[in-house]
Amino acid sequence: MARKKESKITPIIGLQWGDEGKGKGVARIASGLSKKDLIVRFQGGNNAGHTIWHGGKCYVFHLIPSGVFGQAQIHLGAGMVINPGALAQEARMIPKKIPLLKRMSVSPHAVLTIPTHLILDSVSEKTKGKRKIGSTGKGISPSYTDLTLRRALRVGDIFYDDFKKKYKMLQKEHKTTLQKVFEYKISENELRKKEKEFFRGIKFLRSLRSADSAEIVLEALSGRHKVIAEGAQGALLDVRFGHYPFVTSSHTISSGIGTGLGIPPSYIGGAIGILKAYATKVGEGPFPTELGGIESAVWCRDKKIADEKMKFPEPNPNSKSEFEQGIALRRAGNEIGATTGRLRRTGWIDIPLLKYTVKMNQATKLVLTKLDVLSGFEKIKACTYYIIDSKKTKEVPFDLSRVKIKPIYKSFPAWKGKLSDYGKKLPKEALDYVKFLEKTLGAKIIYVGTGPEEHHVVERYWK
């Protein structure tokens, strides 16, 4: 199929550990797309959580791309793992006036997450003890594992008469693994409840248009329509180039689009990188700029938001305790996992890590989110380099967990009041911080998030 030279896929990639605000970024970009433009998901499953405020209401999408409130076509790509019950439930959440079903298609090559995947994931994580990685328990890793073992069920299988037979065979293998490896016997009541939701989801999946990912993408590009590839999680969670083993099970970076959609890399253009004005992380693993260090990591692992509100009803962002500063940052940014409900660990922005992900994804444009969350701080910090073994470095080590890192910070004075009070421009202090990030990361910030809703943004007006 002929393709116009200038037609390229635009990846939208999180440049940190996920939760950067990709949902809002995609939703805003999608608002300018036409009915023939296309938004695709190319990897991951419902372990992602993209939060969008639309019409004064909060929506959290796990499988459906965040551009659902626009008018562009929507496609769930071959590289995804899809929990049918979760997808059906998510679709029911969308207002009926939104024409979703006519716009949405799904790849027959996408892998199905079945009920025993969820149980395998949960049981496996519990047996790891101190070695656990912070899995969401959504069955993502076992689903991708079955693909590698060449026994996975895929969306295309649901249209064949032997689907239930193949389902029972895979379920039997999972039960054997659970019993022999983990000494766990599934409760039939537990399984029956999950299966009811699963097969309801299969019925919903059959109602969607099945379309080959490569064909649908190339058709859009050949018509010179825009194609947005929405990444899930963040670049630092990529299964190969993230902070292994504290990663997800798929390729979250822009080069993962090729294998996730079945297209050559020449069709992929420069990415729009999404970064938060500070840093957060859910689950286990190294976090050099974490406010409160180990104390924070343990707290976020063991506590819930109710515990935190009881002990710290009004945390002070300018406390002498970095641990309390981190709690104040979490409260101001509502940093609770959209998928898991876990407390997100919080810290200052990390320039070496961002340079690593900007370069890896060829991020030519940036979107800075949640700058408004820093309004209560007297000083804002950014890690500009590390001290590792008494040596100064701006390079990210192969394994952050194997070295002792001391982050070195540059401080910025904060602005007074709320960013929303300044209208469609940023106060000098905020603009200085934004310009520093641009210069340091070598890419233009096209807009800055100043609140939760789609319209809470400041478009680029500075040179």
Residue of 37, 50, 117, 350 marked active site = 50
**Residues 30 and 41: beta-carbon distance below 8 Å:** no
Q: Which residues are annotated as a binding site for GTP?
A: 18-24, 49-51, 344, 370-372, 449-451
Distance CA 66, CA 23 (A): 5
- Binding residues, as ranges, are 18-24, 47-51, 136, 150, 233, 248, 338-344, 370-372, 449-451
Binding site members for Mg(2+): 19, 49
Specify the amino acid at residue 337: G
Q: Are 48 and 233 in contact (CB under 8 A)?
A: yes
Q: How does DSSP classify residue 397?
A: P
Secondary structure letter of residue 178 according to DSSP: H
Our answer to whether residue 225 is catalytic in this structure is: no
Q: Under 8 Å CB-to-CB from 414, ≥6 apart: which residues?
A: 374, 375, 377, 378, 379, 380, 429
Which residues sit in the known binding site for IMP?
19-22, 47-50, 136, 150, 233, 248, 342
Q: Rounded distance, CA 151 to CA 173, Å?
A: 10
Q: Are 231 and 255 in contact (CB under 8 A)?
A: no
The DSSP H or E segment spanning 387 is strand 379-388
**CA distances in angstroms from 363 to 198, 234, 367, 386, 448, listed in the order given:** 38, 13, 10, 23, 16
DSSP state for residue 364 in the 8-state scheme: E
- Residue 50 catalytic? yes
The amino acid at residue 125 is: E
Active site residues: 19, 50
